[in-house]
A and B are shown apart, each in its own frame.
Chain A
Amino acid sequence: MELFFNPFDNLLCILLGISFTVWFTLLLVFIIVPAIFGVSFGIRRLYMKTLLKIFEWATLRIERGAKEKNHHLYKPYSNAIIAREPTSLEEEIKEIRRSGSNKDLDSASEFEMSDIFYFARRGVESIMDDEVTKRFSAEELESWNLLTRSNNNFTYISLRLTVLWGLGLLIRYGFLLPLRYEPSDLTETACCCICFHYRMKNFLSEKVHLMCYRICVRALTAIITYHDSENKPKNGGICVANHTSPIDVIILASDGCYAMVGQIHGGLMGVIQRSMVKACPHVWFERSEVKDRHLVAKRLSDHVQDKSKLPILIFPEGTCINNTSVMMFKKGSFEIGATVYPVAIKYDPRFGDAFWNSSKFGMVSYLLRMMSSWAIVCSVWYLPPMSREEGEDAVQFANRVKAAIARQGGLVDLLWDGGLKREKVKDTFKEEQQKLYSKMLVGTQEDRSRS
């Protein structure tokens, strides 16, 4: 019996040993070494191109399948559900009234029963499709990227497609996921150890940080294109960017060193935060201090005034938005008076959706999804620095920066507050609408009394 198993055992051991060595060498050669030196082999770009071709084929296949069944495919951007005209309250009500009677406008009565048509129509339009709620859930794609999580039209179309999907599933969970999990695990422990035990000189700590972040980036198979690096944030400035997921931090930090701002957490996060502070000064707040805006503002302005300290990285939206739009920037970071370096981050949704829907997924399941997507492809644009101009208040300055970021990233610029994800909208907006309408009614009265 023993004799029978021994050679088999031996063979198994040898095989395991070989595969482990191969694995480790691959890891070293393709991930860790390039990260240390900051070079790239170009393999990831090739991977991207191949994937795109496959996705196109898959989408064509689905379209053909749908046509056979005589359905129209649901395409979120080319088939909008409603056509909205951007007109104002006054214009529309005048339009309804004008077409409502053959009297001419001057002698029209102040109030018409048909005025409610405008509000009813606007209301039902917003029920069918509104600008805000769809920013808090993952973006819908036009083409299918072989992930069931992003497809509305997925029904059984053809054997080939299903096989391809199955293969994709296997590759993602069996090959890519473990490949990514190992280095990220390694880096985390390495970072913690190094930072915690050694008080390093600045330049050395910079190098270590960059290296660690670069390993993380390769671990996630993030393919990042940096544009306009001459505008990279300098010491004593504030870097603002649109926020889509926690990965934003890794992406920006792998190309430059920043001081982070945030709440002190307990547990493992707290340990990491404290050890990061030893290596270079970040600005961490106690939970109670966050409520005190003046204290926060003072600490931030102290930090920026010291030119030797790293630029602060802030996400003024305050919450994760799904990367199709930029929502209201909180004015706090724009009141300090430092130079602002805007950065626009745009993810390519075809390869994997980076948006963290915190009400649906916890951190762990989010990371799992990230690591089992095809890749994370994004573009980062460093915009030229901006400062507050004469006569501009913090809110206007914030809006100006927001508009610049939205323009560069191809995102929709919205005035709505990202906090609407969790909170109700303020009544002041409704009161504005009521005021506008009242002006229409009362205004006519004033004209009448004048004539």
Chain B
Amino acid sequence: MGSRASTLLREEEIEEIKKETGFSHSQITRLYSRFTSLDKGENGTLSREDFQRIPELAINPLGDRIINAFFPEGEDQVNFRGFMRTLAHFRPIEDNEKNKNPTASEPLNSRSNKLLFAFRLYDLDRDDKISRDELLQVLRMMVGVNISDEQLGSIADRTIQEADTNGDSCISFQEFIKASLVEANINNTSFNHLTKKIKILMGAFFINATEANLLNKLA
């Protein structure tokens, strides 16, 4: 008879994960149940094949890159802690967190960490720069065979031209933030609607105006 999730995850572990990622007790139990259902080998870790078994992920053009984001450098297995750490980036930012102790380390779901996650989808070799080749690779993944090399090349060149401010024909993290940044419309109804909904929500890339100013200062 199948063994059930919550009996295998100890209370101390749940507390640790709570501190590290900010998820609630029931969210952690729920995600552990999900983790074990994906873990067909039942050895407490997930491999790349386990992720590939999710059909909706397998048909996602960026599926491989997203799966990669879960695995630390050079490793082929991810345990539950690693799994949660990556998922924590997508937790919505709650208002009461903003006023927390400023000396505490930055939470995993902070705005810059979210943008770093997206940046790393491009930057495969982790040299903190998106080169033209890396940009082309991602573009090719997203469009498949439907656009020619020349057209794609010109799209990449145009993008780098617009984003690159220091002239090194690569996009650094700061330039990336500016390029994808929003002077968001605080009255954007979908944003308010989302924050009203509960549990884990995506769409965590919307940023409000004051944060935009802060990040501008970083540049």
Chain A residues packing against B (C-beta within 8 Å): 71-74, 79-83, 95-96, 99-102, 109-117, 119-134, 137-138, 148-149, 151-155, 360, 369, 416, 420, 424-425, 429-435, 437-439, 441-442, 445
Residue pair A420, B2 in contact (C-beta under 8 Å): no
Pairs A–B under 8 Å by Cβ, sample size 29: A74-B33, A79-B26, A81-B30, A81-B200, A109-B158, A109-B162, A113-B159, A114-B205, A116-B121, A120-B117, A121-B203, A122-B60, A123-B63, A128-B34, A130-B57, A131-B56, A132-B55, A133-B37, A152-B4, A152-B5, A152-B33, A155-B6, A424-B52, A429-B55, A430-B61, A430-B63, A432-B59, A434-B145, A435-B144
List of A residues within 8 angstroms of B37 by Cβ: 133-134, 137
Chain B residues within 8 Å of A, Cβ to Cβ: 1-2, 4-7, 24-27, 29-31, 33-34, 37-38, 51-63, 66, 87, 90, 117-118, 121-122, 138-139, 142-147, 151, 155, 158-159, 162-163, 171, 176, 179-185, 188, 190, 194, 197-203, 205-206
A442, B151: Cα distance in complex, Å:
9
Picked from A131, A429, A434, the residue with its CB within 8 Å of the CB of B142 is A434
- Cβ A151 vs Cβ B142 within 8 A: no
Among residues of A, the one whose C-beta sits closest to the C-beta of B171 is A113
A-side interface mostly: helix
Within 8 Å by CB of A128, from B31, B121, B171, lies B31
- The answer to whether A430 touches B34, judged by C-beta atoms less than 8 angstroms apart, is no
Task: Give every chain B residue within 8 A of A80 (Cβ-Cβ).
Answer: 199
| A74 vs B199: C-alpha distance when bound (angstroms) | 12
- Chain B residues contacting A442 (CB-CB under 8 Å) are 146-147, 151
CB within 8 Å for A73 and B6 given contacts A111-B159, A130-B57: no
Contact of A102 among B183, B201, B203, B206 (CB under 8 A): B183
CB distance from B68 to the nearest CB of A (A): 11
Please state if A130 and B60 are interface contacts (CB–CB under 8 Å).
no
A264 CA to B61 CA, complexed, in Å: 42
Q: Among B2, B190, B201, point to the contact of A95 (Cβ < 8 A).
A: B190
Considering the complex, give the chain B residue whose CB is closest to the CB of A442.
B147
Chain B, residue nearest A84 (CB): B202
Complex CA gap A298/B181 in Å reads 62
8 Å CB contact of A430 from B26, B58, B162: B58
Closest to B27 in A: A81
> For B142, what are the chain A residues with a Cβ–Cβ distance below 8 Å?
115-116, 119, 434, 437
Give CA–CA (A92, B143) in the complex, Å.
Answer: 17
Least CB separation from B5: chain A residue: A152
CA distance A338 to B1 in the complex (A): 43
With CB as the reference atom, state the residue of chain A lying closest to B46. Answer: A127
Q: B70: nearest residue on chain A (CB-CB)?
A: A127
* Docked-complex contact A72 and B59, CB < 8 angstroms: no
Using A99-B182, A127-B51, A138-B2 as known contacts, list a sample of 6 further A-B pairs with CB atoms less than 8 Å apart, ordered by residue number in A: A79-B199, A123-B62, A128-B31, A128-B34, A130-B57, A132-B54
> Are the C-beta atoms of B182 and A74 separated by less than 8 Å?
no
Query: Contact at A148–B1, with CB atoms within 8 Å?
Result: yes
Please give, as numbers and ranges, the residues of chain A lying within 8 Å of B30 by CB-CB distance.
74, 79, 81
> Which residue in B25, B26, B201 is a CB contact (below 8 Å) of A83?
B201
**Residues of A with C-beta under 8 A to B61:** 119, 430, 433-434, 437
Q: A99-B206, A120-B66, A123-B62 are in contact. Are A128 and B29 (CB under 8 A)?
A: no
